[in-house]
Homo-oligomer: A and B are copies of this chain.
Amino acid sequence: MALHLPALVTVLALLLFVYSFLAVGKARVTYGVAAPATTGHAAFEVVYRVQMNTLEQLVLFLPALWLFSHYVSPLWAGLLGVVWLAGRVLYAVSYVKNPKNRGPGFIISFIASITLLLGSAVGMVMRMVAGV
């Protein structure tokens, strides 16, 4: 039962990523940036960077979420996952308004990821020491 929470967060995180790359496809048309180019219009580049940053952070977040679920707590993994999701939404919305405003959303989601990752490491070392 408890593992449904990180699974649900995983689905929502992937849907956010789907939204970010569909937005790039739409921005290609809106700003006239034909593939394979990824530059040529500042507004397009912002949408593209939001997608790439979401991708990068997803690759960090998902393994950290599941390691924490296994080694510490699936409930707390899920709650930290909700913080991550909120940070990523704030990041995307702020970045599109003005690239200089992308900091807070990034930092919120990064703190969630690093807590998941370092928490996993602590849980793992405690099990190793206990020999289980």
Binding site for B on A (CB under 8 A): 1, 4, 7-8, 10-11, 14-15, 17-18, 21, 34-39, 42, 45-46, 48-49, 51, 55-56, 58-60, 62-64, 67, 70-71, 95, 99, 102, 114, 117, 120-121, 124, 127-128, 131-132
- Which B residues lie within 8 Å of A45 (CB)? 36-37
Question: Do A35 and B102 touch (CB < 8 A)?
Answer: yes
| A interface, over-half SS | helix
Question: Do B99 and A11 touch (CB < 8 A)?
Answer: no
* A95, chain B: closest CB distance, angstroms: 8
In the bound complex, what is the Cα–Cα distance between A28 and B13 (angstroms)?
A: 27
Question: Do A34 and B124 touch (CB < 8 A)?
Answer: no
**Oligomeric state, in number of copies?**
3
Query: Which of chain B's residues has its CB closest to A20's CB?
Result: B56
Question: Do A67 and B10 touch (CB < 8 A)?
Answer: yes
- Which B residues lie within 8 Å of A63 (CB)? 10, 14, 62
In the bound complex, what is the Cα–Cα distance between A38 and B42 (angstroms)?
A: 12
Question: Do A71 and B102 touch (CB < 8 A)?
Answer: no
* A24, chain B: closest CB distance, angstroms: 9
